[in-house]
Amino acid sequence: MPIVYDELLRLDIPEREFAYSDRDTMLYALSVGMGHDPMDADELPFVFEKGLRALPSLATVIAWDDSWTPKTGINYVMVVHGEQRVTVHKPLPPSGRIKAKVRIKDVFDKGAGKGAIMLTENTLSDAASGEKLVTLLSTVFARGDGGFGGPARAPGDGPPAPHVIPDRQPDAGVTAKTQPNQALFYRLCGDRNPLHADPAFAKAAGFPRPILHGLCTYGHAVRAVVKAVCDHDPARIAHIEARFTAPVFPGETIHTEIWRDGNIVSFRARLLERDVVVLDHGKVELRG
């Protein structure tokens, strides 16, 4: 069924409660490249229960729920992740119970044959205290759903403007080789979209083979920032944002370029094999 703009904005997605354990936290860290060197003492606290720490981007998977997506009318075979913003109000504990409330903020019609953009907000709160922990803002590019008759938008009234990368050489860089089965591990964190596992499904979506989850690439970049800028202290991160610009095929090498300007960290990720930028306009805000 096609998108019906007014109905989509009125869609009431019930609040849900989720529990995550130290196992989930460690699996996520392993799935975004942590612990590749088992002798790396700096990364051990992310993959070992003794003194366990949670990466802030763990928030993108611990309340994963796409059961409501068929109600939107969007053709999810043709969907790709556009941008992801993570605002950390309070650092995530390595295990706990949370409540998640999803709402669709808006949908932008780019026109027939040009797709549509949907903004989705997910607020995560501590299930016991009600304290807000993280706000996620996701931009989804629905390649097959343009021309549904959505209202026109004036310039500046659409999705948030992307962060501008500094016009100078990076201050640091972190390289991570993904594994050929990286997507098969990462999908166990929550997102089981067959695009990342089934060759036939990937081909139907226009890809020669399954691609890595965009949020897995995102997690690799967050790992790089935590390593290069935060001295492996994830609690220093208050906000993360980036735009997905190209797919990664499992087995390729992600190099994250990093710029530091006070409490603002800019980053961009590219593939060494193809010299393709896969994450752009990356920004991390550090706590003062």
Task: Answer yes or no: are the C-beta atoms of 84 and 215 closer than 8 Å.
Answer: yes
β pairing state of 276-286 and 237-244: antiparallel
Which residues, including other chains, have CB under 8 Å from residue 265's CB and lie 6 or more apart?
225, 229, 258, 259, 283, 284, 285, 286
Is 66 among the residues known to form the active site? no
Instruction: Choose, from 24, 145, 191, 280, the residue flagged as catalytic.
Output: 191
Based on its alpha-carbon atoms, the radius of gyration of the chain, rounded to whole angstroms, reads: 18
- 59 DSSP assignment: G
Separation between Cα atoms, residue 108 and residue 9, nearest integer Å? 12
Q: Which residues are CB-contacts of 147 (< 8 A; sequence separation ≥ 6)?
A: 109, 111, 112, 113, 114
Catalytic residue among 81, 109, 196, 232: 196
- The Cα 85–Cα 138 span in angstroms is 6
Q: Is 191 annotated as catalytic?
A: yes
State the CB neighbour count (10 A cutoff) for residue 207. Answer: 16
Residue corresponding to tokens 């931009």: 139
Question: Checking DSSP bridges between strand 264-271 and strand 96-109, what pairing results, if any?
Answer: unpaired
Identify the burial level of 158 via C-beta atoms within 10 angstroms of its C-beta, where 0-12 means exposed, 13-18 middle and 19 or more buried: middle
| Residues that are catalytic | 191, 196
